[in-house]
Structure 1
Amino acid sequence: MTALAEPQSGAYQPHLPIPHPRTPYPPQTGGVVWQPPGEQQRAREAADAETLVRQNLEWSLFERAHALSARHASAAWERRFNRPLVPYALAALFRQRTPDGNSMVVTAATRLWLAGPEPSDPVDLLAALVQIARTRDPRRPWDVRTALANRHDVPDEAAYTGLAFSSLDTRTGTFAQACATARSELQIPGTILYLAGDPAMPGGQRALVADRRGTDGHNALTISSHEALSTPVILSRWPYTRVALSLLYERSGYGRVLQAMTELDREIHAADAQRRVTGTDTSSWWKGV
């Protein structure tokens, strides 16, 4: 059972168009090329190996998003009385294939915001970043790692993959309300969002919304995912529920945030592709990024 049907305190209901569901490319036509049994077996093994790499990457992306949420909660708790942070944080996630080709390393460029006298709306915060990205000088390379982030551990060869978003305003209350009863940062819950355009499908998206409880909630984790996790549920690292993309937009309470993330994701994809024009992308799949 997911938390999608429950109201999200401090979250936002969607008012903008929802992206169309993913539609597969039409099947290829033409005759099937015969291969010797040995080559067929090697091709199957190579395909299985790439599937495993993809699935491990998907979980590595989620684990980095989960780490963003936990570290955000810790930093916000420690600074709640001195230069406090807003209850939202963002990370642009990057991938790079290891030298042996058997796995991917995930790195991140993260952004935290200081609380100010004016209200902090997550959609407004993301819209400001979209505006910065859209007004970049197209004649010069634009690097999201330094243009939008406070810090990063991303090597030059890594390729941008998607956005992670942390909200400390959750379905059970705001960050301020959680601080009033919590005894440590370990009791601060969070909501995790991940969104990435999927170049394998025209107009497609990968997205998930996860509810992370604190220690007083037994550290429970509820994940609702649309195409972001392809591991068979029975073999997954954490339980998750497959949901339609429209459900994430309409029932999660974060529809407007996901829409703003969609716009920012599109701009970062274009800018990072330009940054790497003269470099080499070490991954052998997802070349549309």
Structure 2
Amino acid sequence: MPGQARRWADLRVQVAYRCRRLNTGHMVEADQRHDTREALGPHALMLFFVSEAPAEPHGYLLHTAYRLWLASPESEDLPRLLADLAEVVRTNIARAASAGRRWHPLGPDASMVNGGDMSPPPGATYVGVGVSTLDSDQGRWQQVARTLRDGSGGRYLSAFDLKGQCYVLLTDGTALHLDRDPQARIGVDGIRCTKTLDPDRPAYWHNPHANLTEQGDDATRELWRRLGMLHHTLTSHLHGGRPA
């Protein structure tokens, strides 16, 4: 596999790892702040950038910035949240352009993020966007969080027993879904991806997730569609027609 293809395969693995780590941290923080004035919403935004790093095995470093929201009715509706973000991005781009400036999602003006790698090296390149959500097939976050406290789940649970999910789109056309399940069997990583994570996988390998964004129920496909709109807006602006 050519070097660039190997780099992208490695990047997908690194992004999946970052997603798992961020989703876990999101879960723990939301649990600690549940039912307080600083309670967190169930969804978070992730922005991925890479900078050149010749000393690294694949010549790059991954930088992840994120945004968490306080709990509110607006922050609980993920498709609506993504649509609103896409509109905010378009507004920020236009407003900066009218003032003779170029807007960037990491700031300094109208930053989209409030945590993580908010100041990557100059020249860092946007490679994708994702969302972390605490909603899962165990239930909506608010419902599950109450279960932790009232014991209605039938056995003792902590935040470390709960599942979470991440959805990611990258500029090479990758779509990736992470089902973070602390109870999963050893060897089950919960990753579904439209492109390979293994650069040495045979070319004839059949990927059952090649059409990932078209799979699932209506709500899942709508989530992918809204995330895609945000991703397209960011990519068009930050890459300006250049190859991603």
| TM-score over 0.5 for the pair | yes
Instruction: Decide whether aligned partners of structure 1 residues 169 and 100 sit closer, same or farther in structure 2, where only a CA change above 3 A counts.
Output: same
Residue 170 of structure 2 corresponds to residue 196 of structure 1? yes
Partners of 1:248 and 1:64 in 2: CA distance: 21
**1:143 is matched by which residue type in structure 2?**
H
Offset at 1:185?
2.3
Residue 68 of structure 2 corresponds to residue 107 of structure 1? no
Equivalent of 1:74, from 28, 31, 44?
Answer: 28
Counterpart in the other structure of 1:202: none
CA contact (8 A) 2:174 2:194 kept: yes
If you compute each CA radius of gyration, which structure gives the higher value, 1 or 2?
A: 1
Residue 159 of structure 2 corresponds to residue 185 of structure 1? yes
Offset at 1:120?
2.3
Offset at 1:106?
0.6
Equivalent of 1:222, from 190, 215, 220?
Answer: 190
Q: The residue matched to 1:113 in structure 2 has which SS?
A: strand
Gaps of 5+ in 1: 1-46, 199-204, 235-240, 275-286
**CA deviation map 1:211-270 (0-9, x unaligned):** 1113x4568532221126353569xxxxxx64132x433316521111111111112123
Instruction: Decide whether aligned partners of structure 1 residues 69 and 232 sit closer, same or farther in structure 2, where only a CA change above 3 A counts.
Output: farther
Partners of 2:4 and 2:16 in 1: CA distance: 19
Equivalent of 1:127, from 75, 80, 83?
Answer: 83
Partners of 2:191 and 2:135 in 1: CA distance: 17
Identity, % of aligned positions: 24
Residue 9 of structure 2 corresponds to residue 55 of structure 1? yes
Partners of 2:190 and 2:56 in 1: CA distance: 32
Instruction: Decide whether aligned partners of structure 1 residues 51 and 249 sit closer, same or farther in structure 2, where only a CA change above 3 A counts.
Output: closer
Q: The residue matched to 1:144 in structure 2 has which SS?
A: coil
Q: The residue matched to 1:108 in structure 2 has which SS?
A: strand
**CA deviation map 1:74-133 (0-9, x unaligned):** 111111122211111110101112133642211112011111255721011111111111
Deviates more, 1:132-141 or 1:107-116: 132-141
Residue 48 of structure 2 corresponds to residue 93 of structure 1? yes
**1:250 is matched by which residue type in structure 2?**
Q
Equivalent of 1:150, from 114, 118, 121?
Answer: 114
Partners of 2:171 and 2:81 in 1: CA distance: 20
Residue 214 of structure 2 corresponds to residue 249 of structure 1? yes
Partners of 1:262 and 1:231 in 2: CA distance: 25
Instruction: Decide whether aligned partners of structure 1 residues 118 and 226 sit closer, same or farther in structure 2, where only a CA change above 3 A counts.
Output: closer
Counterpart in the other structure of 2:235: 269
**2:112 is matched by which residue type in structure 1?**
L
Partners of 2:73 and 2:8 in 1: CA distance: 44
Counterpart in the other structure of 2:179: 211
Q: The residue matched to 1:248 in structure 2 has which SS?
A: helix
Instruction: Decide whether aligned partners of structure 1 residues 90 and 102 sit closer, same or farther in structure 2, where only a CA change above 3 A counts.
Output: same
Q: TM-score when scaled to structure 1?
A: 0.67
Q: Kindly report the root-mean-square deviation, in angstroms, between the aligned alpha carbons of the 2 structures.
A: 2.6
Partners of 2:233 and 2:75 in 1: CA distance: 26
CA contact (8 A) 1:209 1:225 kept: yes
**2:45 is matched by which residue type in structure 1?**
L
CA contact (8 A) 1:86 1:114 kept: yes
Aligned pair count reads 218
Partners of 1:192 and 1:233 in 2: CA distance: 24
